[in-house]
Each structure stands twice: as C-alpha cells, then as structure tokens.
C-alpha cells in the first residue's frame, strides 16, 4: 500500500497533536508532507524531528528564523516557509494527498479553501471555514471532486449515521432531523446571575474535552454548538428547522440522525478526538485510534435535555445568523472571535461576549458575500466594529 502524504494545518494545536498521534500509530499508511504552526516554534521543531516533514510553515519571518536555528541544531534540512500564501501553497501542493484543516478561526479559511479547490481529501476540523464561506466552500468541493470529511466529533458522528451514498437531500433519505449533542460546558448548572463573574480559567476548564482556549470558551457560551449548527447546514444540506441541539452532559453520544420511520441512529464513543480523526484519515476503512473502547456498564446513565437559550444566548444568535444567511454568519464568527479574545485578555466579562456580538449584528448591514474578497472584507469590518465597541 502506498502511503498517503498528509499536510497538518495547525499541527501544534490539540487537533494537530491528536492527528500526529494517530499517524504515528500507522506509519505504514501515512507520512507527513507538511506541518504548520503560527508561533509555537519549539513544539513544531520537536514535531519535525519526529515526523520529518518535507516543509513547515510558520506565521512570520521572525518565527521562521527562530525555527531555522532550532532545526539546524537538530541537523534537519526541512524547508521552511511563512505567511498565509505559504499555508495555501502546502495545502494545495501536488505532493500532498490529505489535508487536516485544524487552524482555529477565520485564519484557517484560505488554506482550507485552497485544499478544497485543489481536490484534496480534506479533513475539516476548522468549522469557521464553512461558517464564513458556506456555499463557496461546498461549490469548490463539488467542482474539484475533493473528498470532504468532517472531523468535529458531532459532524463526524452524523456522517457515520447517514446512508451511503448521501445525495445532500435529506428528504431523499427519509431524514426527519439531525440532532447535535452538546455537553453544556462548565456552566451548565451554575447560577445564571453569577456568570458575569466567571474567570477565563473557569471558562476554559471543560468537564469532558481537552481543547484550546478559544474553543473552550465557545463551549462555555455554546457558541461552539451554534457554529456547528451552521456547519451542519452546509455539510448535510439541511435547513435550520431540521437541526436540533440537545444537551448531553456525558459526551458519550456524539450526535444522532432521526429518520421518518421513527429510527434514531447514534454514534457513541469516549470523548477523544482521535476517534473522528482516525475515521477521517482511513475512510472508508477503520483503523486503531488509540482510544480506549467505550464501556457502557461504567457509564451507567445517559442524560438529555433541551438547551436554555437564556443561559446560552450565543446559541440563539447562531440560529438567527443561519436563518438570515448571506453575511450574517461571517459577522457572527468574526465578532465572536474578537469578543472571546477580549474576555481571555481580561478586557470584558463573560456575559459581555454575547451582548457585544448582538450589538455588532444589529449595527452591520447584511450583504451578499459571493467570493473570498467579500468574505474577508466583511470579516475585517466586523472585527473593527467589535473592537470599537469593546474599547468604548
């Protein structure tokens, strides 16, 4: 079997690290073509030493210089590049077969789209790519013949529960609705009146998953689930009315598909991102992910209840953005990224996140975003207004 050459966009983040863990278990099937990171050069240098990629990409010239010194010390001659154009180049390179798109936030969109346009097998962990560029991204996949495999645990679960082949028409398969499960994060049972006083340390302490700081805050506000609703709409061609969110604190059932005959198919597993990563890498085969098998006897109880929109207003904002369409999801995402960073930096309180996003969405006009230029312009305008509101 010829080994597949993998480009890991965002290799020093939690998804990137988990991806490399799975690859290390199957070196007969995969080799690393490229690794990318923004600024964690020491961690990236160690990954280069272990996986020997052809090329690495960092965020700046300064980071590239620092990485060059580290690689020279390790006697590695890996090619080094930097900047957004270099990210797109490795994601679309002819020597690359598979792209793990795991750069957090809007920064990951151009390279993810480049991989789609180039017809790669795209393992999409960057939900913002679809939130911001929706139709543009799906059109690129369909035009190039790229294979798009969702890596978010929820969308991966849905993908596993859908019939094959899937025609992107839910009615053709008798689908009643898609059910996205959510843990509810660290504040599921906390008194709402005390949420104004939440600290960043409390917000990033997720009860089930080990994630980066930004996505952990998104989980605490449930904006993460809202973005996943928008992503599910594009991945599975399903309207907002047929996408339901259900709180499931144990994070054992990762999502479900409800069919018109009364059947509900669910994908279960321990909360470990190596499961969907392994599924995406090997699809349509299955390989060992390193995840401990689920023991339902030890779980004993599975709980479910509907989300409280007064506790999680960001989820309501996301549904509203999806129904509004056009530039609304791009505005939602950009404003959230800025507001979350401001919270992590101690500039605003936790409950100011949703209030700031709502103000931005009220003030900015909704417009068409037919191409990458329009999307990025909208993103920049939204960030500027959000920063202005934060600084006021």
Tens digit of each residue's pLDDT (9 = 90 or more) over 280-313: 999 999 999 999 999 999 998 999 999 999 999 9
Q: What percent of the chain has pLDDT over 70?
A: 99
Q: Give Cβ neighbours of residue 144 (< 8 Å, ≥ 6 apart).
A: 116, 117, 118, 119
What pLDDT does 185 receive?
A: 87
Q: pLDDT tens digits, residue range 36-56?
A: 999 999 999 999 999 999 999
Count helices and strands (H / E) in the chain. 16, 11
Domain boundaries, the chain: 4-150, 153-270+293-310, 325-392
Q: pLDDT tens digits, residue range 132-187?
A: 999 999 999 999 999 999 999 999 999 999 998 887 777 778 999 999 999 998 88
- Classify residue 295 by burial, with Cβ atoms within 10 Å: 0-12, 13-18, 19+: exposed
Are the C-beta atoms of residues 350 and 343 closer than 8 Å to each other?
yes
Q: How many CB atoms lie within 10 A of CB 153?
A: 23
Using 50, 70 and 90 to split pLDDT, how confident is the model at 103?
A: very high
CB-hemisphere CA count at 13 Å for 251?
A: 17
What pLDDT does 207 receive?
A: 72
325-392 and 4-150 share a CATH fold? no
Q: What is the mean pLDDT of residues 370-389?
A: 96
- Please determine, for residue 218, whether its predicted confidence score (pLDDT) is greater than 80: yes
Range 325-392: architecture per CATH: Orthogonal Bundle (1.10)
- The DSSP secondary structure of 111-122, one letter per residue, reads HHHHHHHTT-EE
What pLDDT does 305 receive?
A: 94
CB-hemisphere CA count at 13 Å for 203?
A: 29
Tell me the chain's radius of gyration from C-alpha atoms: 20
- Please determine, for residue 390, whether its predicted confidence score (pLDDT) is greater than 70: yes
Are the C-beta atoms of residues 352 and 345 closer than 8 Å to each other?
no
Using 50, 70 and 90 to split pLDDT, how confident is the model at 210?
A: low
DSSP letter assigned to residue 305: B
| Domain 4-150 bears CATH identifier 3.40.50.920 | no
Q: What is the mean pLDDT of residues 110-116?
A: 96
Structural tokens at position 102: 């795991």
- Please determine, for residue 105, whether its predicted confidence score (pLDDT) is greater than 90: no
What pLDDT does 209 receive?
A: 63
Average pLDDT, the chain: 95
Q: pLDDT tens digits, residue range 325-353?
A: 999 999 999 999 999 999 999 999 999 99
What pLDDT does 167 receive?
A: 76
What pLDDT does 170 receive?
A: 75
């Amino acid at each position: 079997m010829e080994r597949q050459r993998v480009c890991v966009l965002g290799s020093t983040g939690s998804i990137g690290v988990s991806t490399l863990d799975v690859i290390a278990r199957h070196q007969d099937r995969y080799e690393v073509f490229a690794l990318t990171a923004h600024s964690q050069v020491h961690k990236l240098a160690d990954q280069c030493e272990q996986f020997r990629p052809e090329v690495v990409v960092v965020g700046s010239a300064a980071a590239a210089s620092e990485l060059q010194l580290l690689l020279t010390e390790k006697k590695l001659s890996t090619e080094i590049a930097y900047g957004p154009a270099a990210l797109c180049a490795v994601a679309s390179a002819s020597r690359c077969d598979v792209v793990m798109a795991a750069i957090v936030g809007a920064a990951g969109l151009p390279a993810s789209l480049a991989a789609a346009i180039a017809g790669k097998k795209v393992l999409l962990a960057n939900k913002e790519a679809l939130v911001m560029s929706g139709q543009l991204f799906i059109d690129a996949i369909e035009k190039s013949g790229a294979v798009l495999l969702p890596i978010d645990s929820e969308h991966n679960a849905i993908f596993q529960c859908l019939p094959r082949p899937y025609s992107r028409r839910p009615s053709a398969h008798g689908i009643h609705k898609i059910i996205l499960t959510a843990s509810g994060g660290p504040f599921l049972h906390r008194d709402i009146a005390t949420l104004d006083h939440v600290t960043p340390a409390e917000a990033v302490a997720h009860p089930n998953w080990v994630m980066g700081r930004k996505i952990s805050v998104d989980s605490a506000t449930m904006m993460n689930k809202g973005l996943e609703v928008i992503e599910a709409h594009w991945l599975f061609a399903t309207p907002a009315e047929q996408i339901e969110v259900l709180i499931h604190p144990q994070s054992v059932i990762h999502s479900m598909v409800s069919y018109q005959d009364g059947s509900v198919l669910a994908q279960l597993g321990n909360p470990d991102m190596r499961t969907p990563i392994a599924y995406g890498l090997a699809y349509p085969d299955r390989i060992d992910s390193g995840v401990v098998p689920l023991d339902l006897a030890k779980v004993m109880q599975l709980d479910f209840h509907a989300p409280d929109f007064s506790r999680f207003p960001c989820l309501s904002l996301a549904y509203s953005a999806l129904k509004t369409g056009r530039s609304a999801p791009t505005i939602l995402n950009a404003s959230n990224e800025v507001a979350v960073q401001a919270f992590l930096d101690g500039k605003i309180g936790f409950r100011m996140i949703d209030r700031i996003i709502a103000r931005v969405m009220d003030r900015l006009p909704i417009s068409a975003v037919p191409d990458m230029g329009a999307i990025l312009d909208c993103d920049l305008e939204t960030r500027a207004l959000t920063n202005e509101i934060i600084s006021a």
